[in-house]
Amino acid sequence: MADLTHPAWIALADDGPVAELAAILPPERLRVVRDPAVFDALLCAGRPHLAVLVTPLARPEDLLLAVRERRRRSTLRLLHLSDPDAVATRLEALRLGFDEALPDTISADELLARMDLLERRAQTRHGAGVLVADGVILYTLAHEVRRDGELIHLRPKEYQLLAMLAGHPGRAYTRRQLLDRVWGHDHDGDPRTVDVHVRWLRSKIEPQPDAPVHLVTVRGVGYRLDPMPR
């Protein structure tokens, strides 16, 4: 069953084209709320892909909070709707950092198309992603790893080790194989170097690092990456 507390899109609105979309889209796709406090909580905790704020229901502080969250999560997209005559309001939203600002007289069909476009642009910006753990995606073109759109900071060898394992999910590697492939055949370091890097990676991608379900130990062999736990 879909988690209704974590929809892909959220909106702070009470009527208009957003409400029309809410009547035809599944709740896991779009959730519309009228309470700014509920919206703010969903924005920060639910990690939506896109957020729509409609004035006058959306307060200035809601817009500022959305912009702060947008800066923290580069894959989040923001769309602002306001009265057709509120040109200055829309320009201010764009100046603050919103991705799009439109009159609230836009048709539901066009609004849906624009929301889809904003989401696709955010997803393709980083290139094709590879699932490495629950909610964790490795983007090879951007050379980065993100959890629910938020950047995970990895050391160079951490990234290389994860990328190598992600390229062959489900395959077990010995520590020596991992050393040769990530550090190079001429590396004469201790195989325990791999253990240290695996421990660092687990602290960043596992739901419970002390009980890993993705980057697992294969007894008597080494390590294996299971993006989808067995």
Predicted TM-score (pTM) above 0.95:
no
Pairwise CA distance, residues 87 & 155, whole Å: 45
Please check whether residues 115 and 163 belong to one and the same domain: no
Q: Phi-psi region for residue 105, left (φ > 0), alpha (ψ -120 to 50) or beta?
A: alpha
pLDDT at 120 (0 to 100) = 80
Q: Which structural domain, as residue segments, surrounds residue 30?
A: 9-124
Stretches where the chain sits below pLDDT 50 are 1-4
pLDDT at 3: 43
| Domain identity same for 215 and 167 | yes
| 102 and 31 in a common domain | yes
Identify the pLDDT of residue 127.
57
In a domain, 200, yes or no: yes
Are 120 and 163 members of one domain? no
105: CATH: 3.40.50.2300
Which residues partner with 79 through β-bridges?
52, 100
Please report, in angstroms and rounded to a whole number, the separation of the first and last CA atoms in the chain. 20
Q: What is the pLDDT of residue 1?
A: 32
Q: Residues near 82 by Cβ (< 8 Å), separated by ≥ 6?
A: 54, 55, 89, 90, 93, 101, 103, 104
pLDDT for 57-92, tens place per residue? Answer: 999 999 999 999 888 776 789 999 999 999 999 999
